[in-house]
Structure formats: C-alpha cells, structure tokens
Amino acid sequence: MEVIENLEDNLEKIKKEIDKDNLVIFPTETVYGIGANALRSSSVNKIFEVKTRALNNPLIVHLKDKSEIKKYAYVSNEIEQRLIDAFMPGPFTIVLKKKDIIPNCVTANLDTVGIRIPINPIANRFLEYVKVPIAAPSANISSRPSGTKVSDIKDEFEGKVNYIIDGGESKIGLESTVVKVIDNIPTILRPGFITKEDIEEVIGVCNVSSHVLSEIKETEKVESPGMLYKHYAPKTKCLLVYSDDINKLKKIIKDNLVDKTIILGSDKLNDINCYKYVNYGNSLEEIAHNIFSKLRECDKLNGDLIIIEGVKKEGLGLAIMNRLIRTSNFNYKEL
C-alpha cells in the first residue's frame, strides 16, 4: 500500500485507480473513508468484500458539491432542501429517494440513498478530480473502531487497497449525522457532530430514531450505516458505565474490576487502581475526536476488560453514546 502525502501530485494516479474499479482510502473531516465509484456495482462490491461488511448495511454516496445531488437523488420537499442548505457541505448525511443511476448494492436494495458532501479540502479535491460519486463507509474492518488517522488503519488494509491519501488526524472523529425526513420531520438515524439541537434551530423540530440507543431487530431494515448491533468495537471485551454522580460511577467501576482491567475515561477516573488507565479527554469535543483511536490504543494493551466511562446523552453526547453502546455490544450499566 502506498501512503500518498501530496494529493495534488498524485491525482491522475488516484483517478486511474477509481476508473479501474479499485478502492482508495481518503480523509474526511469525520473519519477516513474507503471509497469506490458509486455508479459501478463491480466497484462497490469490493467495499463489502474488503471490509467484510454485511450486504444489508447501506453505503453513503459522497459528492463534490450540492449541484450534484439532483443527478443521483430526488429532493422531494422543502424540509429536505432546508437541511441541505443549512448543513451541507459538512459532517451531515441526508437520506433521499434515490434515482435509478445508483446501483441497488449501494443502498442495500432500499429506494433511498444517503448523500454527503464533505467539507474536508482533500476529500473535496479528490471528489472533484475523479468526476464520479464515491460510495464510502468508514475505513475499518467491519465491527472494528473507525479510522481517524493513517497509522490506525494502514495495516488492516495492507494488500487489499493500493492507495491511502494521508490527510492527518480527522478533525471531528465521529461519522456524520444521518438524517431522514419522515412525515415532514427530520429524524436522526445516526447522531453525529450536527446535533438534534442544531437541526431544531433550523427546522424547529427534530426526532431521534429509537434505534440510536437500542438494538435493531433482524426483521427491520437498516436505513443507515451504524445501526447494526455490534459496531466500532475493539477485540477486547468492553463494559460501558455511566452516572452523573462521581461516587456512584467509581463504585460501578470498582465493582466490575477484573485482573487486567483497562479504564478509558476522563481525568476524574485517573486515581482508580487498575491495570491501565487511558485518558480520552474531558470535553465532549475531545472525546469525540479521540474515542476511536483511544479504543484502538486500549486494544493493544492486551487487557481482559475495557471499562469505558459514558457521557450524558444530549448534544454531542448522544452521538458518543450511540457509538459506545455498540462498542460495548450493549454491555452497559447506568446508575
């Protein structure tokens, strides 16, 4: 695998790779993506193969700018347009009725497609130059933590992908907010940096899917990436704990300590005697930025259990808890 640090000098090489139905890993402001030509099933199918991704888990289509949306999807109402105007480009994905030009393998046979326009300048230049929409999930083997820097994901894709574009650490660290307008009300299918409160400021109302913090049944459709049961997970078993009372929080942790317990959390937990303590930051922005790389760091410590400190489920905290609940395979305790 070649790590490309200067995109401008390698644009033609990258374009040829996409034209040959191959995959390219590229940075965005949220996480790194593993992308293919969204208009070719032969390209898209390689994403599922390389990631070992479930075929019922739809992909997001990345475009260079808003003028491209009408080529691939229908903007059916004023609410959808207002969301596009307010939050795109940026860490925001809108689910729209798809046009036939988008293959069914991209959308897991749904009649809708998630559309995203990154704000990351490297992603934008890549999308502009290849001149095709790029279907891309996060760059990680399925169920593992998403990739936010090249060093975390390079080994996973060695021999499977020829090029990875290095854009440094992802600015945000959590995947985009995914929203579908249902009965004229924006509904968050996957929370992200754009919060429920942000959407309410623009539209006045916003719902959150019941699956954001709960399991999705096998009989139900997966309308958005990130809805599946176990996701974003290290190999080490995880326990997620939360209390707004520090004494109760510490008691939960101490009651669940095993021989080689790794604690992943904020400064307030650094005095608990354990195998290893890893700090993930103290603000929600820090935690969102760090969480996936810190989970990978914890995994390398060869512990028996990772106890993860949760956060309050509001604002950006909802997105963090959405990821951590799936990281822990719904092994969650709250007091």
pLDDT tens track for 46-59 = 999 999 998 989 99
Among the listed residues 96, 30, 44, 105, the one whose alpha carbon sits nearest the alpha carbon of residue 69: 96
Tokens representing 249? Answer: 């929080």
In sequence order, what are the residues at sequence separation of 6 or more whose Cβ sits closer than 8 angstroms to the Cβ of residue 207? 182, 185, 186, 187, 188
Q: Would you place residue 221 in the very low, low, confident or very high pLDDT band (cuts 50, 70, 90)?
A: confident
pLDDT confidence bin for 42, thresholds 50/70/90: very high
Say which residue, 131 or 211, is predicted with more confidence: 131
Torsion angles phi and psi, residue 36, rounded to 5:
-145, 165
- Average pLDDT (257-269) is 96
Residues sharing a CB contact under 8 Å with residue 132, sequence separation 6 or more, in sequence order = 18, 37, 38, 39
- φ, ψ for residue 66, nearest 5 deg: -65, -25
Pairwise CA distance, residues 293 & 296, whole Å: 5
Structure tokens, 208: 């959150």
pLDDT in tens, 50-105: 999 989 899 999 999 999 999 999 999 999 999 999 999 999 999 999 999 999 99
CA nearest to 173, candidates 320, 23, 7, 6: 320
What share of the chain has pLDDT > 90, as a percent? 90
Q: How many CB atoms lie within 10 A of CB 193?
A: 23
d(C-alpha 174, C-alpha 239), whole Å: 20
> Which residue shows structure tokens 């040959």?
20
Q: Quickly state the pLDDT bin for 226 (edges 50, 70, 90).
A: low
Kindly report, residue by residue over 103-153, the tens digit of the pLDDT: 999 999 999 999 999 999 999 999 999 999 999 999 998 888 999 999 999
Burial class (CB in 10 A: 0-12, 13-18, 19+), 23: buried
Look up residue 19 and give its two tokens.
């034209």
Residues 216, 218, 223, 227, CA torsion sign:
positive
| Residue 225 binned pLDDT confidence (cut-offs 50, 70, 90) | confident
Q: Give the residue, 225 or 171, on which the prediction is more confident.
A: 171
| Domains delineated in the chain | 2-212 (3.90.870.10), 238-334 (3.40.50.11030)
pLDDT at 218 over 70: no
Q: If you average pLDDT over residues 251-278, what whole number do you get?
A: 96
CA dihedral (134, 137, 139, 140) positive or negative: negative
Give the residue, 143 or 287, on which the prediction is more confident. 287
pLDDT of res. 242:
97
Around 93, how many Cα atoms within 13 Å sit in the side-chain half-sphere?
29
- Whether the CB-CB separation of 46 and 52 falls below 8 Å is answered with no
Residue-level pLDDT at 95: 98
> By C-alpha distance, which of 187, 184, 233 is closest to 206?
187
pLDDT at residue 266 in the model = 97
* Structural contact between residues 269 and 309, judged by C-beta atoms closer than 8 angstroms: yes
Predicted pLDDT at 35: 97
Q: Are 285 and 316 in contact (CB under 8 A)?
A: yes
Q: Tell me what percent of the residues of the chain surpass a pLDDT of 70.
A: 97
Rounded CA-CA distance 48/224 in Å is 15
- Separation of alpha carbons 239 and 285, rounded Å: 22
**What residue ranges in the chain does DSSP mark as E strands?**
2-4, 24-26, 33-37, 60-62, 73-74, 92-98, 112-116, 134-135, 163-165, 177-182, 185-190, 207-208, 238-242, 261-265, 276-279, 305-309, 332-334
The predicted model gives 202-211 an average pLDDT of 95
Tokens 């990258």, located at residue: 14
- 5-22 pLDDT, tens per residue? 999 999 999 999 999 999
pLDDT at 230 over 70: no
Please give the pLDDT value at position 229: 56
